[in-house]
Amino acid sequence: MRQTPPPEHAVAPFTEVDPHRARQRFSIAPMLDWTDRHCRYFHRQLTGQTLLYTEMVTTGAILHGKGDYLAYSEEEHPLALQLGGSDPHALAQCAKRAEQRGYDEVNLNVGCPSDRVQNGRFGACLMGEAQLVADCVKAMKDSTSIPVTVKTRIGIDDQDSYEFLCEFIQTVAERGECDTFIVHARKAWLSGLSPKENREIPPLDYARVYQLKRDFPTLTIAINGGVKTLEEAKTHLQHLDGVMMGREAYQNPGILAQVDRELFGLDAAAADPAGVVQAMYPYIERELSDGASLGHITRHMLGLFQGIPGARQWRRYLSENAHKPGAGVAVVERALALVNLA
């Protein structure tokens, strides 16, 4: 008997009881220089369920750097730390520190193709060393009780066959005991393309990630790459356990206000953009009193009113005034008054 296919944008019933798998349902990608703690606090005002990721932090920075690279606000939970590195011992130390600091997950970057990352022997180049990745994950898992996950590509350079991807996943899953993979549905060129070009030029292959879930049904598989709408996310969730959204979530953060209802099935009103801005005021005042710059916080908020009259004035006012000496909450209030919220 022929089965009726699900509606094109139907959301699979959200009845997942495993809290870790449930968290993977929707997440915001780790983005260098973007998803800092100010950005994450802002995003959390828009969605309570989305899993947030830090920028990639190297093991060297955590273990030997002078700053506190693990700092975050309690309101950011659920929160994952993304690590860059390839030394199992150093990664294990960092994973243990992450657990001690209260992170909900540790993620290993096996997807970044930049030259700087390759020179440190981590990121996408590690796809060619599946056993080393397995050793790294196993060392982290042995040192902590929180989930350890891997973010990877579908291939690198000429090693881009489905068989290569399956061998990598199988090795890391079996020998590294990793049960969760976030897969960027593009391969990476390790030379010849910039990181930006590597996000755009290699073609997306969603079908390959769907097939991966069919061939490894017991693993938690989330997809990343090119997701721009919640309708697209719903389509992916018909095939996979989770969706990770990157630049669209940052450049058009208002989309996040619909996530808890549309993707997690919560019976709650979408976050009001003006209310979100006002909810940031106490945080802004606290951070300014600790020496932060207003512009470092509001730069993440510029795209909030996309499509709303006054959005351009909001962006312009903040861009021109937030970095001035002494700029405070009053600057944000004046910018908000320029938005037509009627």
**What is the largest distance, in Å, between two alpha-carbon atoms of the chain?**
71
Catalytic residue among 112, 125, 136, 178: 112
Local structure of 14: helix, strand or coil: coil
Residue with tokens 């292959």: 205
Tell me: is residue 334 an annotated ligand-binding position: no
Residue with tokens 């959204």: 245
Half-sphere exposure of 20 (CA within 13 A, CB side): 18
Tell me: is residue 310 an annotated ligand-binding position: no
Q: Which helix (H) or strand (E) holds 143?
A: helix 130-143
Tell me: is residue 32 an annotated ligand-binding position: yes
**Angle of helix 162-175 versus helix 206-215 axis, rounded to 10:** 40
Residue 26 is given by DSSP the state E
Tell me: is residue 1 an annotated ligand-binding position: no
Tell me: is residue 85 an annotated ligand-binding position: no
For the chain, helix, strand, coil in percent to 5 are 45, 15, 40
- Active site includes 166? no
Assess contact for 184 and 224: CB atoms under 8 A: yes
Q: Which helix (H) or strand (E) holds 81?
A: strand 79-84
Paired strand residues for 107: 82, 149
As a three-state string, the secondary structure of 259-279 is HHHHCCCCCCCCCCHHHHHHH
Tell me: is residue 246 an annotated ligand-binding position: yes
Residue 219 is given by DSSP the state S
Tell me: is residue 151 an annotated ligand-binding position: yes
Tell me: is residue 224 an annotated ligand-binding position: yes
Binding-site residues sit at: 30-32, 82, 151, 184, 224-226, 246-247
Indicate which residues carry an active-site annotation: 112
Binding-site residues for FMN sit at: 30-32, 82, 151, 184, 224-226, 246-247
